[in-house]
Structure 1
Amino acid sequence: MSSGAHKSRSPSAKGNGPDSSEETCPLCAPDVKLLRKEDWVECEACNTWYHWRCAGNGEDVKRVAKWFCKSCLEADSSRTVTFKTPARKSTRKRNVQDYANLEEGLGSDSKRFLHMMQGKHIHPDSFKRMNGEDVTLDWLQEDETAMLEPIIIEKPDGLGLKMPPSDFTADDVASELGEHTAVEVMDVASQSDAPGWTLGKWADYMEQSPEKRERIYNVISLEVSGTKIAEMVIPPKIVRDLDWVETFWPSTRKGKGNVYPKVQLYCLMGVETAWTDWHIDFAGSSVYYHILSGSKVFYFIRPTPTNLAAYEKWSGSDLQNQTWLGDMVDAVYKVELTAGNTMIIPAGWIHAVYTPVDTMVFGGNFLHSYNIATQIRVRNIEIATQVPKKFRFPMFSRLSWYVADKYLKDFRNHADLPHRVVEGILALANFLVSEVRILENGNEQSKKEGKDAPAVARELRWRARLAVGYSSEGEDEGSKQDRSRPNGVKRKRSDSEAPMVSSLFKNFRPKKWDGSIQRTENSETTIAKPNGPKPSGDSDEWTSAWLDDGNSDEMDVEGSGVQLTRRRELYTKVRKTEKGVERQKIERTVENWDWDE
């Protein structure tokens, strides 16, 4: 038999043998869809190559010792197909141990998550099901609960979404991006990276039937921005309208050759029984998630302060491998998605994901301005639990400064911003002030590079505080007057209370008055000399008591020898404000006391 009787090759390979570029299998139908890797067999008599799935009889091609095509067998009855003697195998079932994972104390049970979940009380979800055309900025601004809970859009109509065809497969991904392109693959049993994978190897793995997969793997971090696949995908319009990278990152610093956060277009490929343990998407970013084919089951935990504290305790500790996080929180909710469904997951929601069947998903992450406080809270958890920078939102601080710069301009131009956004800007400003304090305490080079950052951060915070309704007393958040209030409650001004601008930060200049009118009213009155001797000397100690004793319009003025000139001044000043006009009236009384010598 020819040494090349059994070979594999890609479907594009043709020719006189499996390594040529011209030959096709004589038995293939014209419209047959070729597999990425085909098993070929060569006839010992005529040296013609055939696809084994076309010419074989169901046997494993690797067992073939000598093979003849049907025509050659009919031409010579002495010819016969022979097979290698199979190696002796024990019928006793053995457990395959994953020693690498055992050394790390992780075990090798790919269904560990499902076992831990058995018997747990899980609530059915009550999240909104919405039509695509209703998921808009107007909805976000009018509904106070918008983007605070997951929403499910069962059909993509009206969502402004574009996706590849529903039969798009891992083979197509490998063809578009290149079979030798490295891809990060997660070993489900250990929830850690499995090294040495390429897209070609992954496509071969997904082509296997579930029962032939020795281990369960998952692809959850293949970002495809700037590739041919990216041309097939457009996120929902609401995502594009909100995305900080889309709206705040300078357009001149995006595109080919520029470094910017690329987290908008992920291709996720999971096989049957794969799962991802509890996690929060980096920096508390929100997620859009479209099921192209297959299905997914999500388990959600609300991002309440108590639940986030439990997650922080659980994450990165031994509890992660021994305890189901659902036992440490108030409730777990279950959502099932099928092909064609789209879900938007808001900032900070803790979730785990199970894959019932082989599934292809496209989605992406985005930061936005309607829940900045939660995004920053999650970022702080990542720092506290020492999440490697590789798994954090790329260039988060730089993106935050671009956002701050834009919103500072909006404040200066009296832009009308939604209240939820203004509250978020205050949280962002507080975060940046803490960042610049680190910068100010750094070396001289870092100070030089960020010389404008402190002014931007502090002015943004001051303007955001006024817009939210806080007093501007004291530059620093948490000043003495704030800390003295119970539970850190800050004093809010009443509607009639004008904002105080006496303690402004460096380089701030308030808006000038647009005009002023002064009106003065004079009157002269002679009143009685106060009791006691006439004051003398240059000391100021006598002044208040002596004048208060006699400063009365009702006193007897006859024979007093004292002349009082009282002058009343009224000032009226007007200037524009963000919401209208401010008019300030100031009345002043000046008294001159003269006595006859």
Structure 2
Amino acid sequence: MAKSRRRSTIQPSRPSPEPAQCASESVNSHSGTHLDDNSCPACDTGEPLPSSEQESWIRCDNCKSWYHWRCAGSDSNVDTIDKWFCSPCRTADPRRAITYKPPTRKSVRKRIQRDYANLHSGIVPNPSRWMQFLQEKPIKANTFKVMDGAAVSMHWLEEDEYAMTEPIIIEQPDGLDMKMPPSSFTVHDVAELVGEDTPIEVIDVASQSTSPGWTVDKWVQYYTDKSAREKICNVISLEVSGTRLADMISPPKIVRDLDWVENFWPNAKKGKGHSYPKVQLYCLMGVATAWTDWHIDFAGSSVYYHILRGSKVFYFIRPSGANLAAYERWSGTELQTHVWLGDLVDEVYKVELRAGNTMIIPSGWIHAVYTPEDTLVFGGNFLHSYGANLQFKVCDIEATTQVPKKFRFPFFTRLCWYVGEQYLRDLRISRSAPERVLQSILALANFLVTEARAIERGGDGKKKEAKDRVPSDKVKEPSAVSRELRWRARLALGFSSDDEGEHLGERFHIDDRTSGKRKRISESSEKDENKIRFRHFRPRAWDKVVESPVIEEECMMQAKRPADEGWMEQWDDGPPSAEGEAATVSRQQSRLVKVRRMADGVERQRVEVVSERWTWQ
């Protein structure tokens, strides 16, 4: 590649050879004479440029001689040259041609750089203006359930079809089987248990940027000395797993029962010294007037949120298809700086939480948060099997809006493989599971099939990246595991199972992503003769097959033309007349009954075969 340099005419010497170049590179290969440092083989006049200008040099890629670009070049910019050869070298070998660098690709789409470090806070430069703005907006009082802690259980989840589709509020923690620090706990205690010298990410609300150089001790000083606050700051990403503070926190039992990390990530690969999704134990410390802009938690994960001290005001948008589309258009674009997302959606709900309140936010809900007073909160994120459709939908939005991997759910795909492998083993034993869980398993299987295809058909980079995300200790054959999981989930849901291209949504339209209600489409649209046949697995064998003995009989009867069949008309040897003719009929009859157990009952298939031979007299 051609090398170019730009120097002032005050020091007109030629660029010196790079250390890796040998001394012979300073010899002109055409004249055989050693050149002066200030000489250019193509100079005609040697007149210097005005001292205010810069001299550009370029080196021939063949002979390594340096030229003034004004002498040997053209009207083009020297910075656009990829390979360059001087005139003598091009004359000596016409195959040497000057080439140019390709132009830099530029997107015509206007985009702003979103501060993903503030993904959970979504902070805007002037938080107070949003609160003033909200005074003029129609905000609906929430209609979400207020529940007793003891009622928030797996029984509730399995019996109530709307469970975990809307936020719920638990005013007192009793019955949640949750462990939290005492109400007297302060940020000083956080510093003692986490470590005063521990680095901490602090968000400057006004500038929407991370302030460098903060430690937990420095944050405590800022938090406790209100008179010294020159800026509004927030701590929203202090995950405390592995610290002494973690020993004082335990999520609600319903969260522990549902959490994919808790239930599917191998215990031997969790804890100190291991890399795993550490998203269960966050300590959030916000000061008065901090604002958290609209966002969805990474990977559409659900959230438990307990106010230990202070208060919070939440604003919610339901994750309907239209609202999610509006969020996708708004997120990461110029709209985010001057348009309130609430104006683009159907309804906004308001929830006020006080000290002692706990809230569970289900998958996919869009929300913003205001902090009226200094607040200390403990919470965490979790993925589960009652909302996977929305979880994967949010992942698609993250990919579309180009959220950097650093700010997505950690080890998400590896976790999905662990979950899929375990569900596959469960489905091999029994298909009995709530329909919402089966729908989530099918959504998970479709995602894993996509990952498997990247391994099978992707380019070298994508193939390696997808393969590295597979936990080889559990999943030996990702292609087989993902496709068998999809096949078994489809069988359990009552789908035909042996079409490679048929997924959830092809036989059922999802009408409401929050409730999972489905509407069956016409049978004719299900037929597609061009679909790839699924070849990796055979349908489950029948539990019992009973075949009756063959019954044979022979009799004489009057044969008449089968008026409704017409197959005899093509023969010229005279089929039976309408009056009928005498014929000998030999008949064989057999019956086959197949039975197998299904998740919701028994499937019985009865096949009866009657074979006749007619001989006319």
Q: 1:186 to 1:294 in 2, by over 3 A?
A: same
Greater CA deviation, 338-347 or 518-527?
A: 518-527
Distance (Å, rounded) in 1 between the aligned partners of 2:124 and 2:149: 43
Q: RMSD between aligned alpha carbons?
A: 3.3
Aligned equivalent of 1:172, options 189, 204, 212: 189
1:236 partnered with 2:257? no
Residue equivalent to 1:507:
537
1:114 partnered with 2:135? no
Q: Is the CA contact (8 Å cut-off) linking 1:163 and 1:232 kept in structure 2?
A: yes
Residue equivalent to 2:611:
590
Q: Is the CA contact (8 Å cut-off) linking 1:472 and 1:503 kept in structure 2?
A: no
Distance (Å, rounded) in 2 between the aligned partners of 1:295 and 1:117: 18
Q: Is the CA contact (8 Å cut-off) linking 2:435 and 2:493 kept in structure 1?
A: yes
Q: 1:550 to 1:430 in 2, by over 3 A?
A: farther
Amino acid at match of 2:171: E
Residue equivalent to 1:25:
none
1:573 partnered with 2:591? no
Q: Aligned-pair distance for 1:566?
A: 1.8
Q: 1:504 to 1:525 in 2, by over 3 A?
A: farther
Q: Aligned-pair distance for 1:485?
A: 11
Distance (Å, rounded) in 2 between the aligned partners of 1:366 and 1:327: 29
Q: Aligned-pair distance for 1:229?
A: 0.2
Q: How does 1:123-272 map to 2 (within 5 A)?
A: 123-209=140-226, 211-272=227-288
Greater CA deviation, 315-324 or 161-170?
A: 161-170
Distance (Å, rounded) in 1 between the aligned partners of 2:190 and 2:544: 64
Unaligned runs of 5+ residues in structure 1 are 1-100, 494-501, 532-541
Aligned equivalent of 1:383, options 387, 399, 402: 399
Instruction: Specify which structure has the bigger relative contact order, considering alpha-carbon pairs within 8 angstroms and separated by 6 or more residues.
Output: 2
Residue equivalent to 2:373:
357
Greater CA deviation, 568-577 or 520-529?
A: 520-529
Q: Aligned-pair distance for 1:265?
A: 0.3
Unaligned runs of 5+ residues in structure 2 are 1-114, 116-122, 471-475, 512-517, 524-531, 562-566
CA displacement 1:83-126 (0-9 Å, x = unmatched): xxxxxxxxxxxxxxxxxx9xxxx985342432432311111111
Q: Is the CA contact (8 Å cut-off) linking 2:314 and 2:351 kept in structure 1?
A: yes
Distance (Å, rounded) in 1 between the aligned partners of 2:144 and 2:357: 14
Q: Is the CA contact (8 Å cut-off) linking 1:348 and 1:378 kept in structure 2?
A: yes
1:287 partnered with 2:303? yes
Q: 1:551 to 1:458 in 2, by over 3 A?
A: farther
CA displacement 1:358-403 (0-9 Å, x = unmatched): 1100000001111111111111111111111111111111111111
Residue equivalent to 2:357:
341
Greater CA deviation, 267-276 or 119-128?
A: 119-128
Q: Is the CA contact (8 Å cut-off) linking 1:572 and 1:584 kept in structure 2?
A: yes
Greater CA deviation, 358-367 or 182-191?
A: 182-191
Distance (Å, rounded) in 1 between the aligned partners of 2:220 and 2:579: 102
Amino acid at match of 2:603: E
Distance (Å, rounded) in 2 between the aligned partners of 1:361 and 1:190: 23
Q: Aligned-pair distance for 1:580?
A: 4.1
1:468 partnered with 2:493? yes
Q: Is the CA contact (8 Å cut-off) linking 2:307 and 2:377 kept in structure 1?
A: yes
- Secondary structure of 1:519's aligned partner: coil
Distance (Å, rounded) in 2 between the aligned partners of 1:463 and 1:157: 40
Q: How does 1:38-53 map to 2 (within 5 A)?
A: none
Residue equivalent to 2:82:
none
Q: Is the CA contact (8 Å cut-off) linking 1:123 and 1:332 kept in structure 2?
A: yes
Q: Is the CA contact (8 Å cut-off) linking 2:542 and 2:594 kept in structure 1?
A: no
Residue equivalent to 2:413:
397
- Secondary structure of 1:368's aligned partner: coil
Greater CA deviation, 120-129 or 239-248?
A: 120-129
Distance (Å, rounded) in 2 between the aligned partners of 1:251 and 1:325: 41
Q: Aligned-pair distance for 1:528?
A: 7.4
1:425 partnered with 2:444? no
- Secondary structure of 2:540's aligned partner: coil
With normalisation by structure 1, the TM-score equals 0.72
Aligned pairs, number: 469
Q: Aligned-pair distance for 1:545?
A: 3.8
Residue equivalent to 1:412:
428
Distance (Å, rounded) in 1 between the aligned partners of 2:406 and 2:464: 26
Aligned equivalent of 1:525, options 555, 567, 571: 555
Q: Aligned-pair distance for 1:552?
A: 9.8
- Secondary structure of 1:557's aligned partner: strand
Q: How does 1:427-442 map to 2 (within 5 A)?
A: 427-442=443-458
Identity %: 56
Distance (Å, rounded) in 2 between the aligned partners of 1:215 and 1:549: 105
